[in-house]
Chain A
Amino acid sequence: MIRRPFRLLGTMWGQANALFAPALRGRWVDPLIGLAGCAVLYELLQASREWTRLPRPTIDIDLSPWALPQYTFFSLTRGLVAYVLSLLFTLVYAFWAAKDHRAERILVPLLDILQSIPVLGFMPGVVLAFVAFFPHSNLGLELAAVIMIFTGQAWNMTFSLYHSLKSVPPELQETATLYRFDWWQRFKWVELPFGTTGLAWNSMMSMAGGWFFLMINESFVLGDHDFRLPGLGSYMKVAVEKGNVAAMIYAVIAMIVMIVMLDQVLWRPVVVWAQRFRVEESSAAEIPQSWFLRVLRRSRLLRRLAVWRRRGQQPKDHGEAKRPAAATRSLTPFGPWAATGSLVALLVFLAFGSWRLFHFLSHVPAAIWWSLLMAGLATLGRVLLSTAIGTLWAVPAGLAIGLSPRLSRALQPVVQVAASFPAPMLFPAVIALLHLLGVGLGAGSILLMLLGTQWYILFNVVAGASSVPSDLREAAKSFRLTRRQRLRSLHLPATFPYLVTGWVTAAGGAWNASIVSEYVSYKGSVLTTFGLGAKVSQFAESADFHALGAAVLLMSILVVTFNRLVWRPCYDLATARYSLAK
């Protein structure tokens, strides 16, 4: 019964593939690549004109569907620029943390804290600073939006690369030492390749995370200032304000198209390409594939380019003795003094920052702190409830999908798109529904949080279920375990470590989502409920920066404490007892 839609999907997919067939044969590849190149160039020119134009008091968003491609492209550009920034940040930060043992003790917990700060916590400072810095062009505001998208992308990627750098196999390290690789050679030949597979996968997920606050990032109110940038997020926001249902639907479609396109044209090829860096020598169970990469690899134009580039590198014949002697070649990019210096600078910066923050927050009266704490507990309750509800449906569904290769092949791409879709864009529809049912935002906001975070649980359970070793599954079958017994003794324990990862991500996401789900503007009015997320939104909008700082600080503290007290022990239990790696 469930199968029919999949078969239908399969047929459609087949026909779509047939459509691409001539392209796959390679004849059309080069002209298509040329055409795409021209289109990208044109759009980049458009974007740069937009970025450098004078700041305008108000930007009118055109709600006609024909304006959407342009808006979508602007948003896409911001996301990609933010991604490049995230990548640079990741490379520097992760490398520093992995190489300098003293700095590591500060940098890693700091990253943990940064990860827990909601995007609105960064917003006022970033926006005011950048706008003040570029008073005569739109660049300041554009950069502020980029930085806010960056805060949704960077931390995860940094953690991933840091862990990879720390787990480079010792014999590869010894080889690098023995043959006297300097720090740069070690980085580009050993460490970076080792981290690439994880980084590629994480980049895909982080980019999706970056879209979550697109509506806020592109249009927000700070006190009596209304900042707005042309883009998909602001299009949606205006459509919601005006109650224009058709425009909302257009925006959702545009978002889906953008996500699918990014997935097919950018991430899938990158993930497939990154397979060459995987370390397990045995071939993986299912090797990901990408039609787009296949097409690119057939391009004669690109092949010629590659050859040309390689030839360009050849004549760099530096004589034998040009390299510095082994003894003097440095193993870190900077000498020990520079390392100590930057560490001290970081410490001074942190100390100064905390001191300023302390002063800044000393104006906040105790009564406000108390009410914030109560609000925090209310939000904590919602976060836990939404995680619990997500678990209730996502675990059975995830097991069903993950244990059946056919289901997972059919549904994996769908789940991936759903997970990448920024849930706030669906809020208006859900709120209309809640309104109809007479449910208030107090309970309704749980549903809104759930909308954004359930995918993390589902995603991880699917991954866990599909990695249950086949010998264990066969054993369970051959001993005639009933479905219930199999669930209790095999499937649940084996997926538990993945479930914990899902919980951590989902709860973190729910905290962040509380900002937009406890405080929703809908058809020109604002719906709100008692909670820390609502407080953050309110204080940002009324530009009450002292209270905003207090609320953001409290949220970070709650998140970090909860991680330490609850999720960390869960994680330890998962690795000690339920890990299949040993």
Chain B
Amino acid sequence: MLNTYVVYVENKPGVLTRVASLFRRRAFNIDSLTVGRTEKPEVSRMTITVDADHDHARRIEANLYKLVNVLLVENITNLPAIVRDLAMIKVAATHEARSHVLELASVFRARVVDVAPESLTIEITGAEDKIDGLLEVLRPYGVLEMVRTGIVAMRRGKSSTVSSTAATDQDVSEDDVSHSV
């Protein structure tokens, strides 16, 4: 099954290579990996999805912790979380198809970010299946180009320990997890 990890790492040169190298070396296949800054300048945050069974998933976590620059690893696969992917899709849209494409985009709450004589570019943000859905209905019109960011994820309600306190503080309270939408 697809596992989603949120990995907090020290914002230092080479850390992305260390993480990527670990997955390669242990033959864990990365489905998607995103990395970016956080509210703390010294901390970077990765969202990694990997296809792995239960035992593999646990070993991935243990191996990530072996990297000295890794601060915290959360497997949020089975936790309430907000998961978002962003895609830009360039669709062939001549005069007669254009209104249909615009209609579909609006149904998916996607935005048109570029219009050209022969094409439309649509930007959509959402869970992966929503983007897959839009892609499917657009395909008959001709998808000319597509790019996706890979997912970013955040647990609902509670803040992660690395974000809220010092990186060394490991106390996690489960009480403040919110299950609201």
A binds B: no
**Partner-B contacts on A (CB < 8 A):** none
